[in-house]
């Protein structure tokens, strides 16, 4: 997952607002999910969409985050907690606050790792999340 991104030092990444990190992390996580679904051989767009939504929903991200917590180092845990404790202005009607908070934490972590250029770590965490979500 090497994209056109200058790698940032963690000190710079820490300066970004939490929800900005979550914003970029949401994109990274969804790209991984969409790529996985397409590579699995589902070609009908409605099925592709439904499978992707099942992987990226707040409920699924909450489940994934809980499974990943034991794998995180101290810095990653701090980033996750920063996102989990963020105070978004709105919470979608289809998500419980706890699910949404964990999803935001997971997205914050993925965004921070992406900005640091830690693509191998992102893929390692993604594979563990996928294992949890797909059994």
The alpha carbon of 11 is separated from its chain's Cα centroid by a whole number of angstroms, namely 20
**Residue 6 in this model has a pLDDT that exceeds 80:** no
Instruction: Please give the average per-residue pLDDT across 55-60, as a whole number.
Output: 94
Catalytic residue ranges: 26
pLDDT at 93: 75
Domain that holds residue 14: 10-134
From the list 94, 118, 101, 32, the residue with the least C-alpha distance to 61 is: 101
pLDDT at 37: 95
pTM above 0.75, yes or no: yes
Name the residue with tokens 């939504």: 53
Please name the helix (run of DSSP H) or strand (run of DSSP E) that holds residue 62, with its range, or none. Answer: helix 58-68
For residues 29 and 60, is the Cβ–Cβ distance under 8 A? no
Is 5 a member of any domain? Answer: no
> Using one digit for the tens of pLDDT, what is the confidence trace for 78-112?
999 999 998 776 777 777 888 989 999 999 999 99
> Using one digit for the tens of pLDDT, what is the confidence trace for 28-43?
999 999 999 999 987 7
- Distance separating the N- and C-terminal Cα atoms of the chain: 24
Is 77 a member of any domain? Answer: yes
Is 98 a member of any domain? Answer: yes
């Amino acid at each position: 997952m090497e994209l056109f991104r200058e790698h940032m030092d963690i000190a710079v990444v820490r300066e970004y607002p939490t929800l900005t990190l979550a914003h970029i992390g949401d994109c990274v996580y969804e790209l991984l999910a969409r790529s996985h679904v397409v590579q699995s051989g589902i070609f009908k767009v409605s099925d592709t969409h439904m499978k992707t939504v099942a992987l990226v929903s707040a409920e699924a991200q909450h489940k994934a985050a809980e499974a990943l917590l034991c794998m995180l180092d101290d810095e990653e845990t701090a980033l996750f907690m920063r996102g989990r404790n963020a105070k978004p202005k709105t919470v979608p009607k289809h998500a419980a606050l706890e699910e949404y908070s964990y999803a935001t934490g997971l997205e914050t972590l993925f965004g921070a790792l992406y900005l640091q250029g830690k693509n191998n770590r992102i893929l390692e965490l993604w594979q563990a999340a996928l294992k949890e979500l797909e059994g």
